[in-house]
Each structure stands twice: as C-alpha cells, then as structure tokens.
Amino acid sequence: MARLLRGGTTLDNRVFLRVLKALALIREEERERIADWLALASDAVSTVAAHAQSVLGALALDGELTPRRLAEMSDAVLFRPEKKLVRAQLVLLGKALARDASAAEEVLPALAQAFAHEDAEVQERALKLVERHLKKVDSPEVRAELVGAADQLVPTLRARAVENLGAAPVTAASLVHEELLPPAPEAARLAPAPGSAVELAEELGALLATEGDVAAFERVLDGLVRHAYEDRDALLEALGPVVARRWWADDAPGIPSARTTTSAGRTTPSAARPTLSTSCWPPSWTGCARSPSTTEPITTTGAGSAGTAH
C-alpha cells in the first residue's frame, strides 16, 4: 500500500497492485486504511484508482463508509479524466443514496459538482440522480447549493433544472459565451552576464550538461561576447576544462586541447575523439575536414563533389 501511495506509472505499479490483490485483505484491514484508499482513488494511476474505488464502494454499500467520506471520495473521483471511473462513481452514489436516504444532504452537493464536467452525458446522469433524490433533502441551504450548481449545466439540461430543481431560468445573456484569456506575461529583465570568466565557464558547463532554458542561454551568450572582447586569453583559459571532454575540443582554435604525449615527445589527438582541421574552422561541405580515421586533411573541390585524400 505504501509503495502504491508513492505514485509512479502504470507499469511501475502493476506488480505492487497484483501483490495487494493477492493479499486479499479482510474487511477490517480495508476499513482501517480508508484514508489510504481515498488517496489512491484521488491521485493514483487509473488501474490503482479503480481498485481503490471498488474497495471503498463495497465499504459504502455495507454501511462502513460514512456519507462524509463518500462525499470526499466523490469530490476527487468525479473530476478525474477517466470517464470509466466517473461513471462508476455515479453508479455507486445512486446505490448509496437508494440504500441510505439520510446521506442525501451530505452526498448530493458533491454529486452536483459533476454539473461542471466537460462531458454532457456525465452532466445528464448527475442531474438525473439529483432529481431522483432531491425530495430527501430538507435543508434550504443544501437545496440552494444544488440550484446554484445547476448554472454550470449545458443549456438543454439547464432548462430541465429550471423545471425540476427551481434553478434560475435560462436567459439570452446567460447563453453568451465569454472567453477569458490568461493575463499577458510581464516582461522581466534578465540577470546580468557572469562577471568573471571563471563564473561564465561554470555556467556554460552547467548549460552544456543540462540544456537549460532560454534565459540561461542568453546570459551565457552575453557573457561570451563580453569576455571575448574584454580579455580573450583569460576566457579561453577558463573555458579549457569545460570543453575538454567535447569531441571537437582538440582542434578548436585557441582552446587548450586534451592531447596525449607519446614516448617520443610528440603530442597526438585523443583516439576517442574525431578530429577536425584547424585550417578551416568551422568545417563545411565545401571547405576541408579531417577524417576521424586519418590525420591528414581531406580537400573538396565543391559541394557534393568527391574529395581527394592526400
């Protein structure tokens, strides 16, 4: 149960749900964990939520789930995106109201929240249940709450609610659709570029590793332009460790390269990286490049033409 409460994907929870079902909890154990069942029915993936819903439904029909708890469960389940769960909850509420008339004042306001559901069929089912059990409600406050909720029904069902629930009549003004757009985003000034080359190198390393947002990219780009103008040598020195593991680091002009030294004292590029010629940077199809498997440049005579190796 605790593992299922932690959440996860349907695939993650499949094994744990099977284990829970295989345990075959007795009624007393199920009753002791009502709060956990409610949490699963509200937020778990659909398969786990359906199992929790069936457990709570059995408790409700046996009189072991209070009307307040049933209403709390309905508040969450009726707004889940899975229509199968929503319909099952409406069926459960109908059975619970038929079994216990005294639960109407607690349950019907929760049921009326389905009047705002995006599916007109769900709205109609909820309205039918409210119409069927409205006579069991004596509280004027609860009746007023149900009437107010009817304003969220689609126009055809709203007309029924006017006749059966005493809701306000449908007027031409109430049928006008008013679309409310979210407020326009406010412009926010970006933070200044990093003040030192070392700080800039750190932020560039984080950006290369995480592919940060646009604001981070703009700050780093701003810093690169500023520091390249103010002190290019200091910038290149700070960037050396950051780009050392990049495949193009060995031949990037001005960047300290990660090379290996042979016994003869010669430096050679790291074999793990393809190398690019520094004589044409950046490389292009119409310029020259170096084959990853050779150390000699390949020259081309034009776009799409075959190169001649030297």
Q: Would you give per-residue pLDDT tens digits along the chain (310 residues)? A: 788 888 777 787 888 888 888 888 888 888 888 888 888 888 888 888 899 889 998 998 888 888 889 888 888 898 888 889 999 999 998 898 888 888 888 888 888 888 888 888 888 888 888 888 888 887 888 888 888 888 878 888 887 877 777 666 655 555 555 667 888 888 888 888 888 999 988 888 888 887 778 888 898 999 999 999 999 999 989 888 888 877 766 655 555 554 444 444 444 444 444 444 444 444 443 444 444 444 444 444 444 444 444 4
| 114 SS3 class | helix
| 208 SS3 class | helix
Gap between the Cα atoms of 150 and 157, Å rounded: 9
pLDDT of residue 132: 86
CA distances from 300 to 207, 251, 274, 278, 280 (A): 35, 20, 19, 16, 12
pLDDT of residue 282: 46
CA distances from 257 to 16, 95, 244 (A): 51, 75, 6
pLDDT of residue 256: 55
pLDDT of residue 12: 77
Q: Which of 24, 64, 14, 68 is nearest to 44 (CA)?
A: 14
Gap between the Cα atoms of 91 and 108, Å rounded: 13
CA distances from 245 to 180, 223, 258, 270, 274 (A): 50, 21, 8, 10, 12
Residue 261 has phi, psi (to 5 degrees) of -105, 130
pLDDT of residue 250: 64
Q: CB pairs under 8 A, 24+ apart, for 57-62?
A: 57/88, 57/92, 58/30, 59/27, 59/30, 59/31, 59/34, 60/92, 60/96, 61/92, 61/95, 61/96, 61/99, 62/27
| 268 SS3 class | strand
Gap between the Cα atoms of 45 and 16, Å rounded: 12
Gap between the Cα atoms of 201 and 194, Å rounded: 9
Per-residue tokens: 23: 């345990």
190 half-sphere exposure, CB direction, 13 A CA radius: 14
Q: At what angle do helices 104-112 and 140-149 cross, to 10 degrees?
A: 20
pLDDT of residue 215: 85
